[in-house]
């Protein structure tokens, strides 16, 4: 058992490069988001003041967002945690680090997702009042569906095929099952609450749905993160 | 209905061999958390994991695990 120190350091350097590439991919995604925001603001301005020559800028921004998103997505996929780490797993503690990465992501992503709720609320409001357009449908779907799905994907992901033995670890599967059980219970409670709210104030129920969906995804995610933290505690 | 639980001597075997939880985890091919939770009887391992643990500690499953509680 055991690798020599030089080999361990080489593997850890590889992990460092992968981590740097992942940060770069996140930065590219962030840039794409900024451009998307600029394009949305431009589109909004052009709707208020038509025929000002903003359409070409809007389409150029859309193209740039597409290119940046594809580039960022490719880089993120290439440097995702666990992509080239089969050998690295032999380094002591690397399995725990991978599980901790997942738990951290499950804790942070729901908090970060709170930022999109106002946008979801505004888009849903516009649709309900009959002023909404295609962009409101798109924004509503993206904000209310994408983020809960992303959280559940992180929870259920079994990683790359060659790392399936790591992600299929018994303890992780047990913790995932418990977290999903708690999540199912929470989803039932949230749905009943949403149903009664809908009977009383249908408009409020529709507006609350994105937050309810996020809550349904957050409960199992945080349950898993908590179980993971508890499993690492010495008793 | 009797209440039976699973106890273990993993910590004793592990420390006797001078192994840390992380080193045993590396031998078995699981995370340190798995070893920690099994040692603390928080998590009941499968037969496969129990046999692998016993092999990694050069002992038998019967020596490593025992039943506790009333029967």
ipTM score: 0.87
CB contact (8 A) between residue A96 and residue B40: no
- Of A84, A87, A96, nearest in space to A3 by CA: A87
Stated pTM of the model: 0.69
A-chain CB neighbours of B46 within 8 Å are: 170
Q: From CA A20, how far away is CA A41, in angstroms rounded?
A: 31
Interface subset of A 31-90, CB within 8 angstroms of B: 90
CB contact (8 A) between residue B32 and residue A93: yes
Nearest CA in chain B to A1: B27
Size (chain A), residues: 235
A-chain CB neighbours of B57 within 8 Å are: none
Residue A187, C-beta contacts closer than 8 angstroms, at least 6 positions apart: A216, A219
The C-alpha of B59 sits at a distance from chain A's nearest C-alpha, in angstroms, of 18
Distance of CA B11 to the CA centre of its chain: 8
Q: Which of A1, A90, A232 sits opposite B33 (nearest CB)?
A: A232
Q: From CA A216, how far away is CA A95, in angstroms rounded?
A: 28
Q: From CA A29, how far away is CA A69, in angstroms rounded?
A: 6
Give the DSSP letter string of A166-201.
HHT-HHHHHHHHHHHHHHHHHHHHHHHHHHHHHHH-
- Please check whether residue A181 is in contact with residue B42, taking contact to mean a CB–CB distance below 8 angstroms: no
CB contact (8 A) between residue A231 and residue B45: no
- Of A15, A180, A205, nearest in space to A128 by CA: A205
Residue B65, C-beta contacts closer than 8 angstroms, at least 6 positions apart: B6, B7, B8, B9, B50
**Which class does domain B4-28+41-69 fall in?**
mainly alpha
Interface subset of A 206-235, CB within 8 angstroms of B: 228, 231-235
What tens-digit pLDDT sequence spans chain A (235 residues)?
A: 344 445 556 666 666 777 777 777 777 777 777 766 666 666 666 555 545 555 666 677 767 777 777 777 777 776 665 555 545 455 557 788 888 888 999 999 899 888 888 888 888 888 888 887 888 888 888 878 888 998 998 888 876 666 666 777 899 999 999 999 999 999 999 999 999 999 999 999 999 999 999 999 999 999 999 999 999 887 6
Helix, coil or strand: residue A88:
helix
Q: From CA A210, how far away is CA A216, in angstroms rounded?
A: 10
Q: Which of B26, B27, B34 sits opposite A171 (nearest CB)?
A: B34
Cα-Cα end-to-end distance for chain B? 8
């Amino acid at each position: 058992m055991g690798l020599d120190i030089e080999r361990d350091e080489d593997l850890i350097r590889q992990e460092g490069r992968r981590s740097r590439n992942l940060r770069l991919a996140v930065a590219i995604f962030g840039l794409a988001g900024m451009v998307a925001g600029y394009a949305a603001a431009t589109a909004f301005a052009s709707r208020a003041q038509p025929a000002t020559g903003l359409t070409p800028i809007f389409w150029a921004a859309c193209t740039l967002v597409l290119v940046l998103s594809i580039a960022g997505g490719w880089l993120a996929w290439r440097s995702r945690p666990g992509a080239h780490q089969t050998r690295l797993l032999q380094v002591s503690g690397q399995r725990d680090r991978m599980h901790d990465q997942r738990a951290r992501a499950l804790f942070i992503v729901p908090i970060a997702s709170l930022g999109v709720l106002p946008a979801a609320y505004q888009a849903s409001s516009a649709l309900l009042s009959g002023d909404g357009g295609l962009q409101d449908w798109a924004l509503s779907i993206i904000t209310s569906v994408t983020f809960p799905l992303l959280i559940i994907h992180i929870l259920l992901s079994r990683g790359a095929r060659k790392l399936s033995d790591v992600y299929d670890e018994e303890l992780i599967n047990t913790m995932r099952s418990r977290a999903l059980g708690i999540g199912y219970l929470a989803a039932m409670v949230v749905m009943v609450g949403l149903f009664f709210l809908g009977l009383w104030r249908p408009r409020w129920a529709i507006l609350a749905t994105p937050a309810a969906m996020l809550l349904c995804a957050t409960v199992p995610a945080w349950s898993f993160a908590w179980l993971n933290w508890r499993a690492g505690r010495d008793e | 209905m009797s209440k039976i639980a699973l106890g273990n001597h993993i910590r004793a075997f592990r420390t006797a061999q001078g192994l840390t939880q992380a080193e045993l985890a590396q031998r078995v091919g699981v995370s340190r958390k798995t070893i920690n939770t099994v040692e603390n009887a928080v998590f009941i391992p499968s037969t496969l994991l129990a046999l692998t643990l016993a092999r990694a500690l050069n002992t038998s499953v019967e020596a490593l695990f025992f039943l506790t509680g009333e029967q």
